[in-house]
Amino acid sequence: MTERTGDPFRDLADSSLNFLQRFGVDPADRSAIEDRIMIFEEEVRELTEAVREGTDLNHIGEEAADVIVTIITMCHSAGVDTEALIEQAYRVVAKNDAKTHETHIFKDGKIRRRKA
Ligand SMILES: [Mg+2]
């Protein structure tokens, strides 16, 4: 049983890797990359279907968590561990926090860098 640390991403990663190991699956097995990609794509499809349906918010959240799990396991298979994922997540946080209306604009459904 994974103990709640107050860090849900790390807890989900630890739980997911422990889950694989409990079933004899090596999370770092590079030969499993195609299987992990296939599972990731399945989970993304389930999430997008749930979002498009838009009626069961708990189901959307559940599918979103499934996608995060598959991202974690796919990345581990590719050699990117939990600490590296967390570091990258904080780099994205810093980049997002640095974007302003002076540097970026919302256009065509996406926030884009303003042209100089
Ligand atoms: Mg799912």
From the CA of 68, how far away is ligand 1's center (Å)? Answer: 10
From the CA of 36, how far away is ligand 1's center (Å)? Answer: 14
Which pairing describes strands 104-107 and 110-113: parallel, antiparallel, or unpaired? antiparallel
From the CA of 73, how far away is ligand 1's center (Å)? Answer: 14
Domain of 76, CATH number, reads: 1.10.287
How many structural domains compose the chain?
A: 1
Contact yes or no for 114/106 (Cβ under 8 A): no
Radius of gyration over every alpha carbon of the chain, rounded to an integer in angstroms: 17
25 alpha-carbon distance from chain centroid = 20
DSSP-derived letter for residue 28 is T
Cα angle: 71, vertex 73, 79; to 5 degrees:
100
The neighbourhood of ligand 1, an ion, using CB within 5 A, equals: 43, 46, 63, 66
List, for residues 29-58, the tens digit of each pLDDT value.
999 999 999 999 999 999 999 999 999 999
Phi, psi (degrees; rounded to nearest 5) at 62: -65, -45
List, for residues 94-114, the tens digit of each pLDDT value.
999 999 999 999 999 999 999
**Residue 97's domain spans which residues?**
8-113
Tell me if 55 is assigned to some domain.
Answer: yes
Is 80 exceeded by the pLDDT of residue 1?
Answer: no
pTM of the model: 0.90
